[in-house]
Structure formats: structure tokens, C-alpha cells
Amino acid sequence: MAEEESQLEEFEQIDFLRDRHVRFFQRTLQVLPERYASLETTRLTVMFFAVSGLDVLDALDVIDRNNMIEWIYSLQVLPTEDQSNLSRCGFRGSSHIGIPYSVKGPGVLHPYDSGHVAMTYTGLTSLLILGDDLSRVNKQACLAGLKALQLEDGSFCAVPEGSENDIRFIYCAACICYMLDDWSGMDIQKAIEYIRGSMSYDNGFGQGAGLESHGGWTFCAIASLCLMGRLEEALSQRELDRIRRWCIMRQQSGFHGRPNKPVDTCYSFWVGATLELLDVFQYTNYEKNRNYILSTQDRLVGGFAKWPDSHPDPLHAYLGLCGLSLIGEPNLRKVHPALNITQRAFQHLQQLQQTWRDNAGTCT
């Protein structure tokens, strides 16, 4: 499928339907249709999309924050009395295993209950967005659980029982360490080696060594290195330039994730944020990007889909908004390109971290 240069220069000015999107996310937080059943094990990530989406829309007042905060804490896998399950701690995706509801410890031992690295990541970010101070998060347990997931080659599994391992979970791990302000949860050097090893001949990043370059994995690679503060140490100037070039070539109108694939709304964030972190997002064409994202807007139910005339879903709805925010769409909060939360939530995190450091300083 050869790439087609778009013939249509002018798209109609499409308006942004804020209220529909607010309602879309509200509904997402209430009930989802049956076809989403397979997402049950990852329900917390769906909540993150909705909650962060509402934050970007500056509409967090429409939800019951305290209720949600409690629910998230009920998903925390806490240490048992004898702390024998520390390497399994973190946050779980939902109640699907059947652990009884509880927001405080000690944890209940269940052979198949454990944290999941992506749930720990979205759990922590969701708490931050909802204004929580993370005081009920057992940080040491989370970090112990995280450490247990890293493999010899530097990549991470998602759960201690074992699962596929790749660069996505390195990104989750980096976010967790960054948020908790504690990098003891991972071996940074090994992670950097794995990331470098995932760079393909065309200077995009694959999911792992020898795998095809992809916009999503490239985001995971670059964002992780930025969060670790090692971007220019891990990659040479030439490599960075080539990564910029690979990413910039992903824009067709909106962005696609790999060459010769159709554009997809979510890449307006994955690739857009990567370009922003590499300081060249300003060279992209904002108008075409915006027009594509808005062409996937569902005018009836709200939200965004990957393609025009397709069903919207929470992931694309959220990332579509983030893509628009990067361009500077009015009335949308700015998004932190590495951590993928609003700047407002990020500032809240910074204040929290300052308090932690101050407290640590004053402790005898």
C-alpha cells in the first residue's frame, strides 16, 4: 500500500464538541458495553483515560472524586501481616480475581493476586489527577513489587507470575519511579541497554530487539529516557537527529504509527509527544493534524475514534484530546509529554514531592 499524498488541501473548519466529550467520559466511568468485557482485567487503565481526559477538558468537577479515590485504593495490593508478598505488591486492574473490597491493610494473601505494572502506573496517576496526596500508597511495597518484575535483559514483565516483557512496561516502571521520586525500583542502566537494543535500523524503536519500529514504542523509549534524565547520555546527537526524522515522517495528515499504515488518532499523541520531547514538534503541520483528529470526532456520543466513521473508545478519546492539547487547542489543559498527565496534575505532583523531601530532611 503506497503512501498517498492527500489531495484535499482544505478541510472544513470542524468545531470541537467539548460537552459531548465530557459526557462520553462520564459514561465511560459508569458502564461500558459488552464488547469491552475483555478489558475487565485492565479496568483501571480505562478509568485513567476517562479521568485524565476530564482533567484535560477541565471538567473534573462532574465526578465524585472521593468515591473514585476510594475505589482505586481498594485495588492496592498491600503487604500481608508477615510481609511475605512484598514482591507482588502494587495495584491490580480491577476486582476480577475476587479479593474482598478493602481500602486498608494488611493485605489478604491470594495465590493469584498481584499488582500489574500498568495498573500501578495508571493507579498512581489517577490518584494524582483526582487530587489525592498518595499518603495511603505503600511506596516501599510498590517499589519492591516493581523491582521483582525486571528481567536480566533490563525489560519488565507486567506481573510477577510472568507475562510478555517489553518496552511498554519499562515506560510504566519509569513513570512509577518518577512519581514516587525513588529509582530504587529499577536498574536504570539495564533498562537503558534494553531501550538502546530496541532501536531499529531506521532509528525508530520496536517493542524489543529485532522488532519493527513503531510510534508507540518510540514514545515509550524516549519518554522513559527523559524521565530518567538520561536522554542525551543514552543517545548520540546523530541518533537523536535520525529519531527526529523518523518521527517527523510519520505525519501524513494526522500521524500513523508505522510506515505505510493508515493514520490513527492516538499517534497524534504518541508521535506528537515524542517530537515535543525532542524539541521539534513545532516543525509539524498543526492544521492538518488538527483536522484529522477532529474528523474522527463522534458528533453524537462524543469521544474520538482511530479513524473517521468508526466507533469511539476511551483510549482514542483521551489521546485525541492530548493530541489537540499538544497543538495548543484553546480551552484544553496542557499535557506533560513524558508523564501523560496535565501540567496541573504534574504541578500537584511536584508540590507533593517537595513536601516529601522537606519531611525527609526534617526527620531525625
Q: Closer to another protein at the Cβ: 175 or 231?
A: 231
**Which residue in 32, 59, 99, 211 binds another protein (CB under 8 A)?**
211
Q: Hunting for cell 498518595 — which residue is that? A: 134
Are 169 and 220 contacting, i.e. CB atoms less than 8 angstroms apart?
A: no
Side-chain-side CA neighbours of 123 within 13 Å: the count stands at: 31
**Which residue in 19, 40, 64, 133 binds another protein (CB under 8 A)?**
40
Q: How far is CA 217 from CA 126, 162, 167, 207, 277, in A?
A: 22, 21, 7, 6, 14
Are 332 and 321 contacting, i.e. CB atoms less than 8 angstroms apart?
A: yes
Side-chain-side CA neighbours of 147 within 13 Å: the count stands at: 14
Shortest Å distance, C-beta 298 to another protein: 22
Q: Nearest 5°: CA angle at 306, between 302 and 309?
A: 65
| Sites for another protein among residues 287-316 (CB under 8 A) | 288
**Which residue in 7, 13, 135, 237 binds another protein (CB under 8 A)?**
237
d(CA 122, CA 47): 8
**Which residue in 198, 251, 340, 342 binds another protein (CB under 8 A)?**
251
Give the cell for residue 340. Answer: 501523560
State the number of binding residues for another protein (CB under 8 A). Answer: 52
In the chain, the amino acid numbered 84 is S
Per-residue x/- mask for another protein, residues 76 to 115, rule CB under 8 A?
--------------------xxx------------xx---
**Which residue in 248, 308, 327, 356 binds another protein (CB under 8 A)?**
248
Stretch that binds another protein, among 80-88, 118-126, 194-202, 317-325 (CB under 8 A): 194-202
Q: Closer to another protein at the Cβ: 133 or 202?
A: 202
Are 116 and 159 contacting, i.e. CB atoms less than 8 angstroms apart?
A: yes
- Whose CA is closest to 116, among 77, 81, 151, 153? 77
**Which residue in 231, 266, 293, 322 binds another protein (CB under 8 A)?**
231
Helix (H) or strand (E) holding 25: helix 18-28
d(CA 235, CA 241): 10
**Which residue in 27, 230, 333, 334 binds another protein (CB under 8 A)?**
230
Q: Closer to another protein at the Cβ: 96 or 357?
A: 96
Shortest Å distance, C-beta 295 to another protein: 16
Q: Would you count residue 134 as binding another protein (CB under 8 A)?
A: no
Side-chain-side CA neighbours of 278 within 13 Å: the count stands at: 28
Are 332 and 324 contacting, i.e. CB atoms less than 8 angstroms apart?
A: yes
Q: Closer to another protein at the Cβ: 3 or 133?
A: 3
Q: Would you count residue 350 as binding another protein (CB under 8 A)?
A: no
**Which residue in 233, 350, 351, 357 binds another protein (CB under 8 A)?**
233
Interface ranges with another protein (CB under 8 A): 1-3, 37-38, 40-42, 96-98, 111-112, 158-159, 161-164, 200-202, 206-207, 210-214, 229-233, 236-239, 246, 248-249, 251, 258-261, 280, 282-285, 288
